[in-house]
Structure 1
């Protein structure tokens, strides 16, 4: 049995599991953690974006990289201390979660899903839609209070289209545009979601995007792009945000860019980096960024 406060060690082998390691900054302390599977809406245990106190290892004492993997050194902690850490993180405006290591492929390169993975069918669409339910509600909560009638919301990697369609229904006074590089995703979205204030187009997020009042950025993540490409895309996309606009950055898998660094470099403001569902002792990455008014 581990005694609270004693030094412990977790070794994560080089490979896919590296992206499950995270560091929680509660505002007063850094905690080591490892994401693990939870039950989804269908009762299946799957790895997701929602973090729970039981996933914490303990207060971080150090980390090392070697040919064997990544070592987290941490102090053993009680379940009560882990729960308190989540309470503190929910209450502290500048708390955040960092996933420092991307998943690695067979040759220790950053793993990125092949293009064929994004060929949309009903099974993939259903799973993606389940995984993003908490993000949809959080987007509505944030944008409802911030956008004026006629505001343009752009989701430059709209996937199945369900999230931007959810926003179109919840915010009927706003215009909603969903774009995606995948033709099959756009076909799926256009077939399932229609309305007077929503439209879809096939487009590359790396190319020019329309100036907008709100940006939904949810693809700069592990398994989707490399960390270098993610930072480049984040800088490019934020350039399309109008003065006074808001950007929301999140995703099914860990967010790759150092968001606070990019935000500072662009003269924007990071309002918060974490969110949770009402009444739940949990956390998930959800960056709220704003561009100063003109």
Structure 2
């Protein structure tokens, strides 16, 4: 009898203190979670066969329906990665023959609203030669997940592997989102991603479909009172933002001032601001969070922290140079609440100051909505670079001087 056969995973095997849906979903039984971690070790070595074998056997001996569904979900994501990943020996195209792409037969991809519709990527690219083009992609297993650094299958980084083709049409049915596209070849995906990295000022990533609860058709969001999590879990959630933190520090340094006042209206345990402060020691960093436990963890990490709802900022009007928003995202808030949350904080920004919007999960707005905010100007929509081999949502808007 194998090790897997003697692990009878049941509802009585022990559960973590919190269970989340969507991209944050995980195994509830501790033994199941351990086997998933073993599978991740195999994924880190690109041993997909062993990873799938571990998950399949665990599913066969698992009696908890939630965990059975979760294991099948992970297996499906591994299969998608195998189908879409670019072979290591593939070389980038020198040029893109767009007429050839447009002549290819259409393909269709669908996702039920209770699965991962937020994994669909729409990329808008402007160029002098081709005008405005729209590409479609689909999120795949994150390198951070494959290396067991995060428990969520996806992260914010969009890579060449995830590109599918030129967008032809998108349709919504009662239960699913459907996208039609003209497919790219692997070598074309590599070239197109390189072009986008070289011209990020003309690129925007959007995620048009939120995840909906199957029973109510409402967006999946965190509780109104916030997640009741400990610091270890908060650190796990923030591990997926490592690239975003690096890019955020580069952005702060690009502003040319060492004495910036920086505000995070939903600072969690304060690690993000602490990281920024380490790179900008002469700045003044202010946090605020709805959860008193998170405020307690933050207190000794930054210059100032407040407990309260971000709709009521606890800082003075026009006193902040930069505000970071890491929570206007899928599975955190509802889409309808994003602009009110953003504008509530806008009053505390100095004229000429900035608001920066990004996150581990998809941002629930687009540059079109930001362009409609009176008194603000959109500076950029994406970040990224060659060292990360991809791009991600990173909106920066600047407040008018008068």
Partner of 1:6: 105
Distance in 2, matches of 1:225 and 1:6, equals 38
What are the equivalent positions in structure 2 for 1:46-195 lying under 5 Å apart? Answer: 46-92=153-199, 93-106=201-214, 107-114=216-223, 118-146=227-255, 148-190=257-299, 193-194=301-302
Pick the structure with greater CA Rg: 2
* CA apart distance, 1:283: 1.1
Per-residue CA deviations over 1:146-170 (Å, capped at 9, x if unaligned) read: 1534331000011121111111121
Whether the 8 Å contact between 1:129 and 1:160 is mirrored in structure 2 is no
What are the equivalent positions in structure 2 for 1:185-264 lying under 5 Å apart? Answer: 185-190=294-299, 193-194=301-302, 198-210=303-315, 211-264=319-372
Structure with higher helix content: 2
Let me know the Cα RMSD of the aligned residues: 2.3
Choose 155-164 or 28-37, whichever is displaced more.
28-37
Normalised by the length of structure 1, the TM-score is: 0.91
Partner of 2:38: none
* CA apart distance, 1:42: 7.6
Distance in 1, matches of 2:191 and 2:340, equals 36
SS in 1 for 2:336: helix
Distance in 2, matches of 1:280 and 1:178, equals 28
Distance in 1, matches of 2:123 and 2:218, equals 25
Whether the 8 Å contact between 2:226 and 2:290 is mirrored in structure 1 is no
Structure with higher strand content: 1
Within the alignment, does 1:22 sit opposite 2:131 as a pair?
A: no
* CA apart distance, 1:274: 0.8
**Greater length-normalized contact order (CA 8 Å, ≥ 6 residues apart):** 1
Normalised by the length of structure 2, the TM-score is: 0.67
Equivalent pairs, count: 290
Distance in 1, matches of 2:206 and 2:156, equals 12
Flag structure 1 segments of 5+ consecutive residues without an equivalent: none
* CA apart distance, 1:14: 2.1
Distance in 2, matches of 1:124 and 1:163, equals 14
Whether the 8 Å contact between 1:86 and 1:282 is mirrored in structure 2 is yes
